[in-house]
Structure 1
Amino acid sequence: MTVLAGPTAVGKGTVSAYIREHYPEAWLSVSATTRPARPGEQEGVHYFFVTSEEFDDLVDRDQMLEWAVVHGVNRYGTRRDKVDEAVAAGRHVLLEIDLQGARQVRESLPEATFVFLAPPSWPELVERLIGRGTETEAEQRRRLETARMELAAEPEFDAVVVNDRVERAASELVQIMGLTPRD
């Protein structure tokens, strides 16, 4: 199992989507979240969009491998049963999660490989966040404050991949996962 984490707007979702498309032998976990869907996001593909009550029920029934409140607003988490099924089937599992979730997974699955996805630079990260235009100014400020703290966690990880180009970052990540990169 490989855990991919990094700051907001670093491109975790973009790198994961590239791997999903080009490396079908990899199994990517789909997180549950209480945040509303963004334009173009599909239920069960990008996230499982659930209500706060549904999320509470999953937590109460110990159905979450990890979960966290992200940016002080919405909750995200990984369903334990889906991960267990993929591992049992011998799949290369990739969890794309936030820093809090990665820390929880390290507690329960320390044998996993933890990869930090880093931006090429702070100005590039700021540009990506603002450029996507999916958050209000207040939300952008909150996410950038969180990103500064998340960047400081890089030394906690087994490997660092810089997301300067999606294809290159994905290739490096699949090598870490033990898959054969494609041209």
Structure 2
Amino acid sequence: MTEGRPLRADARRNRERVLAAAREAFAAEGISVPLDEIARRAGVGPGTVYRHFPTKEALFHAAIVDNIERLTDYARELATAADPVHAFFGFLDHWVAEGAVKRDLAEAIGSDHALELSSPVKGMLDSIETLLHRAQRSGGVRPDIDLDDLLRALKGTFLVTHIPTITDAQRRRTFAIVFDGLRVR
């Protein structure tokens, strides 16, 4: 797509259809979904997908940015909460609820893809780090962990809890165990 030039109406509609199909596919299957499958779901040819998004990572990034921005806004709202520990775990609970049905959120955290360096993800990680540090300073979260430790634990847990045979109750218990490990004893 040529930068700076507005898209024709049909091209804009195709781009939106591709993004909608990508959001649905990535949420259900993660980044492993083939681009041809996204094109099929969008009702366009693979060339249309590649014209708008030259790589799968670029499409993944565009599809997940909205979810990331909403999570960031929520984390920022909680950053001034009177109870930092409750705010931190409240954010994690919200993220788990979102991530339980949206596999792409699990893959977006701590990713090895270029997405990790994008400004929406950086903003989200900065907001999470603020919540973590506030909760640690208030004495409710272990002081010996950092953001990278938290992200590794969450990513691993998200990926394990997306096994097709896991139940919602098992998913909740698994995250409860991880969250208990974050608390100060």
Q: TM-score, normalized by length of structure 1?
A: 0.27
User: Larger % of strand: which?
Assistant: 1
- The structure that is helix-richer by fraction is 2
User: Which of these two proteins has the greater Rg computed from alpha carbons?
Assistant: 2
Structure of higher RCO (CA pairs closer than 8 Å, 6+ residues apart)? 1
